[in-house]
Amino acid sequence: MYGKLTFICGPMYAGKTTELLKRILWARNGCGKAVLVLKPAFDNRYSITKIVSHDGLSVESKAISSFNEVISLIDDAEMICIDEAQFFTSPHFQDDLIEWVSKFLANGKEIVATGLDMDWKGQPFDISARLSAMADDVIKIKANCTVCGTSAAKTFKKIPNDEQIELGANNLYEARCNTHWKL
């Protein structure tokens, strides 16, 4: 039986991790599923051992730099949840996330992943674009523009530089509508 991939994407502050947390709780409490929650070890903004939403909701997770760190847990998992997929790249991550997700799906695993669909320059993250293409369901969530409050699909970087990946929260990033987002 082939698995199912759901990819939850959008800009910063859209509620991607909150949606993932809701699905983890439903799977564990409502369905009694064995859920393996993974986050990139690189993302230590709020916690080393939990995925944490910007509003403080959290659940225990495994922070990894390689899937070899959790290989013994994968067989028992009925559902694998991956937060911040865009960070599962070199030099912060040693494996090919897409290759592993393909293996999980071929082994019948249900996967729910979250990630930014675009960087602050409006360019797609390769990992996110590939997960979107593979996904059975893509859920694009929007945030509220920090300038005007309307629907926001872009991430704005307050201090621009050449870095595509730079850890930060509201100290560095804001959600913006197309009108207030600028390069």
3-state secondary structure 47-70: CCCEEECCCCCEEECEEECCHHHC
**C-alpha to C-alpha distance for 115 and 84, rounded to whole angstroms:** 5
User: Which of 19, 60, 69, 84 is labelled catalytic?
Assistant: 84
Q: Look up 84 and say whether it is catalytic.
A: yes
Residue with tokens 């799977």: 27
Based on its alpha-carbon atoms, the radius of gyration of the chain, rounded to whole angstroms, reads: 16
Checking 116-120 for CB contacts under 8 A at 24+ apart, the result is 116/9, 116/10, 116/11, 116/12, 116/84, 116/86, 116/155, 117/9, 117/10, 117/11, 118/11, 118/154, 118/155, 119/155, 119/164, 119/165, 120/155, 120/156, 120/157, 120/160, 120/173
Point out the residues that are catalytic: 84
